[in-house]
Amino acid sequence: MSLFWRIFLLNAAMLVVAAVLLLGPVTVSTPVLPGEALAVVAGLALMLVVSAVILRIGLAPLGRLNRAMATADLLRPGGRPPVTGPAEMAELIGTYHTMLDRLEHDRASSTALVLSAQEDERQRVAQELHDEVGQTLTAVLLQLKRVADRAPGELREEVSLAQEATRGSLDEIRRIARRLRPGVLDELGLTSALRALVAEFPDHDVSVRPRFTGAADTAPCLDHDTELVLYRVAQEALTNAARHARAAHVTLELRRLPDRTELRVLDDGRGIAGAPEGAGIRGMRERALLIGAELTVGPRPGAPGTEVLLCVREPLEESDR
């Protein structure tokens, strides 16, 4: 029954009862006797209670929909209200679900395009840094070496300092290029890329301990997009641990199980402490949604700090369905 007919029949029933009482043998004395006043008050209270109960039950789905709309987050799909209640309510909730599906699909499509463009731009910048700037600095190093060989003794120390500064800049350019586009990920896979990420982590005040479990031959096969998301999430989590959490020790763990792959980053920093999520965490959530993974960012269980957990579940084979 629709909400309109529920409210209409309720009001009609109360009016019918009132009309029956007016046309029936029941009368009210003048002045009103205490017993008659009590009966009128009790009848009025009964009708109000019945009306409140019916309206509460009828409007309950609308309250659930309101709470769901207030807490909806396209980066955290799920948690939608059930399609229940009168016909109008059920139709409204169903329309809301359809709208969310369309918004999540559009956001996922646009995010995929943006992240793909970002990766292409990263690759282009890394290639230019490696080919243009790197080759230029290499040529400068060779010229400085020739100058050092012909320079008088009082100038050789200054030329040597210039060589060291140029060599340091060249190493920094190469490190930036590798962080922009990890070539080891394409060549040697995720585990080697994460080891290189830990080895080249720039913040020397933070101790990063890698931990990899699961034999490579029994690990589930991951496509390139999934490996890239896992690598970028690990990269962002390490950056947040050093830059924002002020952690001293970080554990980077990659677990490969038959049905899923888990990436966990644990730090002993000051934790999130209810702070709003920044662009880094939102970026991790957007990447996780692209591959259908589950990302959890919260307090570290049983210890101070933060835990970042990314779980990638493997699709079932046809024989397992």
Residue-wise DSSP of 171-191: HHHHHHHHHHS-HHHHHH-HH
Residues 235 and 179 sit within 8 Å (Cβ to Cβ): yes
pLDDT digits 0-9 by tens, 224-234: 888 888 888 88
- Whether residue 204 is predicted with pLDDT greater than 70 in this model: the reply is no
pLDDT of residue 203: 64
- Whether residue 210 is predicted with pLDDT greater than 80 in this model: the reply is yes
Q: Listing from the earlier edge strand, what are the strands of the sheet with 306-313?
A: 207-213, 249-256, 260-267, 306-313, 294-299
- Whether residue 287 is predicted with pLDDT greater than 60 in this model: the reply is yes
321 contact partners, CB below 8 Å, separation of at least 6? none
**Per the structure block, which two tokens stand in for 102?**
């369309």
- Whether residue 319 is predicted with pLDDT greater than 60 in this model: the reply is no
Residues 256 and 213 sit within 8 Å (Cβ to Cβ): yes
The SS3 of residue 82 is: coil
pLDDT digits 0-9 by tens, 15-66: 787 777 666 666 666 776 777 678 778 877 887 787 777 777 777 777 777 7
Average pLDDT score over residue span 121-134 = 75
Average pLDDT score over residue span 76-86 = 70
Average pLDDT score over residue span 160-172 = 82
Using the Cα atoms of residue 141, residue 143, residue 149 and residue 151 in order, give the sign of their dihedral.
negative
Residue 10: Cβ within 10 Å count: 17
Percent of the chain with pLDDT over 70: 84
Average pLDDT score over residue span 292-315 = 82
pLDDT of residue 75: 67
pLDDT tier for residue 216 given thresholds of 50, 70 and 90 = very low
* Of residues 179 and 196, more confidently modeled: 196
Average pLDDT score over residue span 167-196 = 78
Q: Whose structure tokens read 């039950």? A: 57
Q: What is the mean pLDDT of the chain?
A: 76
* Of residues 235 and 154, more confidently modeled: 235
Average pLDDT score over residue span 89-105 = 79
